[in-house]
Structure formats: C-alpha cells, structure tokens
Amino acid sequence: MKKYLEHKVFKCISECADELGLETYVIGGYVRDVILQRKEPKDIDVVCLGSGIELAKKVALKLHGRPQVQVFKNFGTAMVLHGDLELEFVGARKESYRIDSRKPIVENGTLEDDQNRRDFTINALALCLNKDRFGELVDPFNGMEDLANGIIKTPLDSDITYSDDPLRMLRAIRFATQLDFKIEQGSYDAVKRNSKRLEIISQERIIDELNKIILAKNPSKGFKLLFNTELLHQFFPEFVALFGVEIIKGKGHKDNFYHTLEVLENLSKNTNDLWLRWAALLHDIAKPPTKRFEEGHGWTFHGHEYLGSKMVPKIFKRLKLPLNDKMKYVQKLVLLHLRPIVLSKDIVSDSAIRRLLFDAGDDIDDLMLLCEADITSKNETKVKKYLNNFKLVRQKLKDIEGRDQIRNWQPPISGALIMSTFNIPAGKIVGDIKNQIREAILDGEITNDYDQAFQFMLKKAKELDLEKH
Ligand code: ATP
Ligand code: MG
C-alpha cells in the first residue's frame, strides 16, 4: 500500500511520528479516495496514539520552519495548511453518545476505538505511517472488500450508529450517490427506521450534504434514496409533494417528482453549477399547489412558474441556502422556465425573442439549458422535434442579439435627458416616457439606438403637450 503514500508530506509525518515515538496512521476519506483513484484528495486526516497537537506542531516545524498550527481545542485537533493540502491531526479517540445530541463524550482511545467510531467501513481504513510499518493497511471491518464491491455499510450496529449521529444517514446517501455505491440492506433498513432522528441535526449540516448530492454526477439517485427512506420528508416537504399521479375521469398527469429528477439528471450532463441545478429542482415546485382538473380540458398548473418563483425565498430561508443574488437567479429561472418552450412551439415573432432576451439578460444561456433539460417526453419523435425547435430559437436569439443588443439593455434615453429636454421634474411622466421607449424597442417599432429613441421621445412628448425646452 506504499504506493498510496507517495506524496512527500507522508515521509515528513512519518519521521516526526517516529521521533516522538507516536504510532500514527492516515485514515478515512484520504485512504478511500486514493484507493478509488477518485480525485487528488485535498484533506488528509492523521490519527496518532497520543497528542495530535504535538505531532502537528512538529510536522509544521519540519515543513515550514515554524511550529505554527491551528488548534481546535473543542475537538482536540490541529490543522496544518501546506500548499493546497489541509493536514488534520488528532489523537485516537473513543466516543460515547447521549440521546439528545450528536456531540459525543470523547476520551482518549486506541486505534480500534477510533475506527469503531467511524461511519462506514470504507471510511475506517487506516494506513500506518511509522517507518517500520509504513504503508501497512489496518482494515478491521473489511472495508477493502466493500470498496471493491461498492457497498456502504456501518462498522457496528447500524441502528446505534445512525441514532448516535443521524447526520450519518445523509452521509450514507451522499456517498452512495457520489461513488455510485449501494447501501447495504441492513444499513438501509436502519436509515428507514431512524429517519425521524434527523430532527436533532442542524439545517446547516443537512444542506451541506444535500448540496453534495445535488453536485454528484447522477444526483437523482440520491433524491430517490432520500425519498424512499423518508429523510426528505423531514426537511423538504414541498419536494415530496411533487410525488404521485392523480387520475380523474381516466386522465392522469405526469409524476412531477420523477419528472423533476429527470430534468435535473438531463441538466447535470451539461452543467456543474449548483444554482442552475437548484433551478431544475425547483422549476415545477408550485405544480402541486396550482393543480386543477378542468372539465373538458384535463389537468392544468396555471401560474405554477409565477407561484414557484414566489416560493423560492421561503424554501431558501428554511433550508439555510443563501438569500442573495444566487437566490434571485434561481427565482428568475423558475419564473421564466416556460417562455422558451412557448417560443419553440409557435412561429416566433422577433419581438417575443427580444422580450425574452430583455427579461433573461445574461442568464439566457442557462435558461435555455434548463428548458432543453425540461423535455422529458417518452416519445422520441416529440423530443427530437422540440430539441430541433429549440435550436431554431437559439439561432434566432443569436441573430437578434447580434442586431439589437438587448441582453444587457440600457435605456438609450435617460430620465435625466427627458427631464432637461422638457424642463419637467422627476415623476410619473418621465417614467411613462421611458417605458414607452423600451416597449417600442422591444416591439421592434424603433431600433435600439439614440437617434431613433430621441425622435420617438419627441413624438410621445408632443402627444402629452410637452414643450421642448
Ligand atoms: P469528503 O471529504 O469527501 O466529504 P470524507 O469521508 O473525507 O469525505 P470528512 O467529513 O472529511 O469526510 O471526514 C473524514 C473522516 O472522518 C471520514 O472518512 C470518516 O472516517 C470520519 N467521519 C466524518 N464524519 C463522520 C461522522 N458523522 N460519523 C463518523 N465518522 C465520521
Ligand atoms: Mg474529507
């Protein structure tokens, strides 16, 4: 296993550990990820039988000439930053839990105690760093086998493991999704039994895990697991409400839960942007509250894009997502998500395209990606036809943007110019004239330039009996 320890920091840690006479291991995520050849891991967890802080100081001294480390007293850990690596040192420990908190009582322990407190067998692998045992694997729970077979399994009794720290249930699903692993049946059943325990976990921790699931290559797997274990019900009821099909007079609608996941999956092939993926998750979020059955017509979801965009801030606030421009971006995409579809079905006027460019601004490309992902019909001919129509819409968007530059539209005539030209104070009239100029440009009545806009302004002013100053 020496090949996994080629980075020069391991040699340094090894020497320091031997000088201090401390049995020392690299453990957890780093070992898992190098064996899987997943990515170059950025955080390395080192555990020693003794003081992790002392070891950290010695390593920092050797690496940087100064014994400077960041100590987290509450956890008894110390961190050394080395280039873009985060080295975290801790003494091996034993943990015991109380019923009302995921914060354990911690005592010093053996390596075995330390491995026992780990969440999954694949996260409990340890490689010895001391010179005489350098690279020796300590794997008491057959983690290597689970790694090879793609299994997520708790080292000890699953019910106790999850009940002690319910965040582990989300971590199980997160790893199953990121690594495309299967949660071992007993462990899965235990998640189902313990899902209600998630209530003791802070929303910040929950959203961290959820965002990691959303950013995985195939995020829908995670959502199905969250739904089937009913963890999702604990923190995201609006999403759960998308599930199911109602049938009246032989007419059903599509299951919006699975539809949304298909959209997310489609979109994930084309973007790793967390917020664009969130827009996919929320684009139909108001379908349940807007659902109606209309006689002679069937199921409708009138205004779901509008109500959906209004629901976004409430959802973001509760889930502890940021209430900033990212939220506004998601709101905007939810609000606009039907617009390109309408354009792709009918013969499109230039003015409709101009209005879409005006409303979407720089987010137009993201909106188009979302809308293309939103085509989830089972009928291949239909999908092909829609995608082809979208190609035409994209071409038109390009042509019109090239000509009219609407995307980052700035009014060619300012309010100040209107006020000084007619010697009028700021007020409703100024706003009205500005709006009329904008509408005329979007409708294609005049082009998007100063001269035409100025002439148009004079004409409108005349209708209002305003005198040029
Ligand atoms: P990633 O860094 O990709 O999130 P990771 O497995 O390294 O994955 P960390 O949160 O960095 O996750 O934790 C490092 C190690 O600490 C894990 O591999 C695991 O052994 C242990 N660990 C982390 N969180 C828990 C937990 N809630 N319960 C038990 N062990 C945990
Ligand atoms: Mg890690």
Each residue's pLDDT tens digit, 393-439: 899 899 999 888 888 888 899 999 999 999 999 999 999 999 999 99
What's the pLDDT score for residue 342?
79
Considering the entire predicted model, what is its pTM?
0.93
Q: Check pocket membership of 77 for ligand 1, CB cut-off 6 A.
A: no
Q: Strand 43-48 relative to strand 85-91: parallel, antiparallel, unpaired?
A: parallel
Q: Check pocket membership of 45 for ligand 1, CB cut-off 6 A.
A: yes
Taking CA 196 as the corner, what is the angle to CA 224 and CA 330, rounded to the nearest 5 degrees?
A: 50
Distance CA 241, CA 257 (A): 8
Distance CA 384, CA 239 (A): 29
Q: Check pocket membership of 29 for ligand 1, CB cut-off 6 A.
A: yes
Q: Check pocket membership of 449 for ligand 1, CB cut-off 6 A.
A: no
Q: Give, as residue ranges, everything with CB less than 5 Å from ion ligand 2.
A: 29, 43
Ligand nearest the Cα of residue 126 is 1
Give, as one character, the DSSP assignment of residue 465.
T
Distance CA 376, CA 386 (A): 10
What's the pLDDT score for residue 346?
66
How far does the centroid of ligand 1 lie from the alpha carbon of residue 118, in Å?
8
**Ligand 1 probe mutation, 72, 112, 123, most atoms within 8 A of CB:** 123
Give, as one character, the DSSP assignment of residue 100.
T
Determine the residue type at 461: A
Beta strands (DSSP E) in 337-438 are none
Residue 203 structure tokens: 């929303």
Q: Torsions phi, psi of 327, nearest 5?
A: -65, -40
What's the pLDDT score for residue 337?
97
Give 383's contacts (C-beta < 8 A, 6+ positions apart): 375, 377
Which atom of ligand 1 approaches the CA of 30 most closely?
7
Determine the residue type at 307: L
Residue 180 structure tokens: 């495309």
Nearest CA to ligand 1 atom 2: 29
**Ligand 1 probe mutation, 119, 158, 175, most atoms within 8 A of CB:** 119
Nearest CA to ligand 1 atom 8: 29
Distance CA 223, CA 421 (A): 59
Which atom of ligand 1 approaches the CA of 168 most closely?
27
Q: Check pocket membership of 114 for ligand 1, CB cut-off 6 A.
A: no
Q: Strand 24-27 relative to strand 85-91: parallel, antiparallel, unpaired?
A: unpaired
- pLDDT tens by residue, 231-259: 999 999 999 999 999 999 989 999 999 99
27 forms beta bridges with 45, 126
Q: Strand 182-183 relative to strand 151-152: parallel, antiparallel, unpaired?
A: parallel
What's the pLDDT score for residue 372?
94
**Ligand 1 probe mutation, 106, 118, 187, most atoms within 8 A of CB:** 118
Q: Check pocket membership of 167 for ligand 1, CB cut-off 6 A.
A: yes
Go through the chain and tell me how many residues it has: 469
Instruction: For the chain, state the CA radius of gyration.
Output: 29
Ligand nearest the Cα of residue 164 is 1
How many helices (H) and strands (E) the chain has is answered by 24, 15
Nearest CA to ligand 1 atom 27: 168
Distance CA 298, CA 34 (A): 54
Nearest CA to ligand 1 atom 4: 29
Distance CA 298, CA 460 (A): 46
Nearest CA to ligand 1 atom 17: 28
Give, as one character, the DSSP assignment of residue 217.
S
Given a cut of 70, the residues of the chain with pLDDT beneath it are 346
How far does the centroid of ligand 1 lie from the alpha carbon of residue 173, in Å?
13
Residue 110 structure tokens: 């053996």
How far does the centroid of ligand 2 lie from the alpha carbon of residue 90, in Å?
14
